[in-house]
Amino acid sequence: MIKFNNVSKVYPNGVKALDGVNLEIEQGEFVAIIGLSGAGKSTLLRSINQMHPITGGELIVNGQDVSSLSGKSLRKFRRQIGMVFQSFNLVKRTTVIKNVLTARVAEMPWFKSLLGLYSKEDTLSALESLDQVGILDKAYSRADELSGGQQQRVALARCLAQKPQIILADEPVASLDPITAQQVMADFVKINEKTNITVIVNMHHVDLALNYAKRVIGIKAGQIVFDGPSSEVNEEVLELVYGRSLNDDEMMGVK
């Protein structure tokens, strides 16, 4: 479980990104966070693995007080949380499988990770992860030979190879064309349903959030203004989150 108790986040420049957030997310949920740029979506998402440490309140993840973690304990905690980024964050000049295997580095002795001496079990796990996202046939291709959608699938496979309990995805389809974006979102759904991994996605694409997530959280000026099933998101809710009605084009990417 992820539990925010009156959480706030104020950056050094004085910007208040989160303002008294109270929120609970159960294991196995698929949640989309929507809102305008600067509303606090990324801060909310990245506070979960302490990429953006909170400045007030309490944040409990799987029974651990995130604010109390540092050094070795924080690194160990982060192993249970996978992260998928908009920019894929792949090593483009190496193979797909080597990119996926980097997820296992934290579990290896330093000399083996330096030399790339992965175990048979890790290699099989990496291949299985690639199979789960439908690109096993690309395992020994260079990452820079793949399309954007395929590269994001590699990033998702790398995340799965980490064996996480939670996946955080920060605008994972923002740079993809609409058809590919739908395919990648379908991969997230399949993984969530098959593995019971909690998936939390931060999105500008309102239409995708409503079509693929079971629960939607709307954030405005650092505060939660809507939290409920995607089926309950209507024009009134969108006006509350965005301050206005959205046309069809805006539903495909509100920034």
Domain regions of the chain by residue span: 88-163
> Cα separations (Å) of 45 from 67, 101, 131, 169, 199?
15, 25, 27, 8, 11
Task: Please state whether beta strands 166-170 and 30-34 pair in parallel, antiparallel, or not at all (unpaired).
Answer: unpaired
- On the CB side of 148, how many CA atoms lie within 13 Å of its CA? 14
Confidence of residue 254 (pLDDT cuts 50, 70, 90): confident
Distance from C-alpha of 21 to C-alpha of 47, rounded to nearest angstrom: 12
Radius of gyration (Cα) for the chain, nearest Å?
Answer: 18
Task: Using the predicted structure, report yes or no on whether residue 103 has a pLDDT greater than 90.
Answer: no
Distance from C-alpha of 251 to C-alpha of 211, rounded to nearest angstrom: 11
Average pLDDT over residues 155-166: 93
Whole-number pLDDT of residue 245: 80
Task: Using the predicted structure, report yes or no on whether residue 115 has a pLDDT greater than 80.
Answer: no
Task: Please state whether beta strands 166-170 and 198-203 pair in parallel, antiparallel, or not at all (unpaired).
Answer: parallel
Whole-number pLDDT of residue 112: 59
Mean pLDDT of the chain: 91
Burial class (CB in 10 A: 0-12, 13-18, 19+), 78: middle
Average pLDDT over residues 16-31: 96
Confidence of residue 252 (pLDDT cuts 50, 70, 90): confident
pLDDT, one tens digit per residue, over 69-84 is 988 899 889 989 999 9
Residue whose C-alpha is closest to residue 255's, from 204, 187, 217: 204
Residue whose C-alpha is closest to residue 154's, from 166, 164, 165, 144: 144
Whole-number pLDDT of residue 108: 54
Whole-number pLDDT of residue 246: 81
Distance from chain centroid for Cα 157: 13
Q: Across the chain, where does the E strand assignment appear?
A: 2-10, 16-25, 30-34, 56-61, 64-65, 81-85, 166-170, 198-203, 215-220, 223-229
Q: What is the pTM of this model?
A: 0.91
Instruction: Give me 148's structure tokens.
Output: 């954007």
Distance from chain centroid for Cα 15: 23
Confidence of residue 106 (pLDDT cuts 50, 70, 90): low
Residue whose C-alpha is closest to residue 225's, from 26, 39, 71, 80: 39
- Residue 200, helix vs strand vs coil: strand
Whole-number pLDDT of residue 121: 86
Whole-number pLDDT of residue 175: 86
Confidence of residue 227 (pLDDT cuts 50, 70, 90): very high
Task: Using the predicted structure, report yes or no on whether residue 110 has a pLDDT greater than 90.
Answer: no
Whole-number pLDDT of residue 122: 87
Confidence of residue 116 (pLDDT cuts 50, 70, 90): low
- Is residue 88 within 8 A of residue 151, CB to CB? The reply is yes
Whole-number pLDDT of residue 247: 79
Residue whose C-alpha is closest to residue 52's, from 83, 9, 19, 1: 9
Q: Which amino acid is residue 66, in one-letter code?
A: V
